[in-house]
Amino acid sequence: MDFAGRSVVLTGVGREGQVGEAIATAFAELGARVFLVDRQESEARARADALVASGRRAAGLGVDLTDENAVAALAERVRDATGGPVHALVHLAGGFVSSGPVVESDSALWNRQFALNATTAYLTARAFLPLLRASKGALVALMQSIAQEEAPRGVRANAVAPTSIGTAANLAAMGPDAAYVTREDVAKVVLWLCSEEARAVNGQTIPVR
């Protein structure tokens, strides 16, 4: 796979040791210019600086992906930097916090979970679709809708569904003995889906176990 000369936007690339770092590194090592997005700009920049120090092309951007105007501004910023087209958008932002039994749960946590996992996917996809269309280049329902609607324009949408990933955060929370998928295995699947080798794959959820 070769991504030389192509621009890839990855959201949720923040803390060191997380899956976003591995996927961003894999894209950059194959020649892509990567735009790393996280709510904490310092974290995104730290990951980007590490790639730049190794001779790769990367930029770190801090954006609240639940903010419609901020996401629109992000897309414009990337458009200006690339001159228009983006080859791939990899949405990794999200999170999970257990709120306990429904009857005891905190509605604020519900709203936050929905915003982190659904609103961010919707706003990011909506803002970047015009840039993806230019290069012909989440949630399952959203992904399938995009796959169907955008196929005539040459845009594909797929989802990756790994089991527990061996990230730094998961290792700290669940210990080393749990069954994990490696960050690198997830990265391989994401890169394959964004490559020409997978050009016939659209609207699919790919399990990684």
- The reported pLDDT for the residue numbered 176 is 86
Q: Which residues contact 133 (CB under 8 A, 6 or more apart)?
A: 150, 153, 154, 155
> Is the distance from CB of 28 to CB of 4 less than 8 angstroms?
no
Q: List, for residues 46-101, the tens digit of each pLDDT value.
A: 999 999 999 999 999 999 999 999 999 999 999 999 988 899 999 999 877 677 78
Place of tokens 């974290």: 43
Mean pLDDT of the chain: 91
Burial class, 177, CB count within 10 angstroms (exposed 0-12 / middle 13-18 / buried 19+):
exposed
Residues forming beta bridges with residue 84, ordered by sequence position: none
| pLDDT level of residue 110 (50, 70, 90 thresholds) | confident
Please state the rounded mean pLDDT for residues 180-202. 94
- The reported pLDDT for the residue numbered 136 is 57
> For residues 93-128, b (16+ Cβ closer than 10 Å) or e, as one string?
bbeeeeeeeeeeeeeeeeeebeebebbbbbbbbebb
Query: Does position 28 have pLDDT exceeding 80, yes or no?
Result: yes
* Dihedral pair phi/psi, residue 181, rounded to 5°: -95, 140
| pLDDT level of residue 111 (50, 70, 90 thresholds) | confident
What dotted CATH number matches 7-208?
A: 3.40.50.720
> Is the distance from CB of 17 to CB of 90 less than 8 angstroms?
no
Which residue ranges make up each domain of the chain? Answer: 7-208
Q: List, for residues 117-164, the tens digit of each pLDDT value.
A: 899 999 999 999 999 887 655 468 888 999 999 999 999 999 998 888
| SS3 labels along 49-69 | HHHHHCCCEEEEEECCCCCHH
- The reported pLDDT for the residue numbered 137 is 52
Reported for 52-60, long-range contacts at CB under 8 A and 24+ positions apart, including other chains, are 56/28, 56/29, 57/28, 57/32, 57/33, 58/24, 58/28, 58/33, 58/34, 59/34, 59/35, 60/13, 60/36
pTM (2 d.p.): 0.82
Place of tokens 């730049």: 52
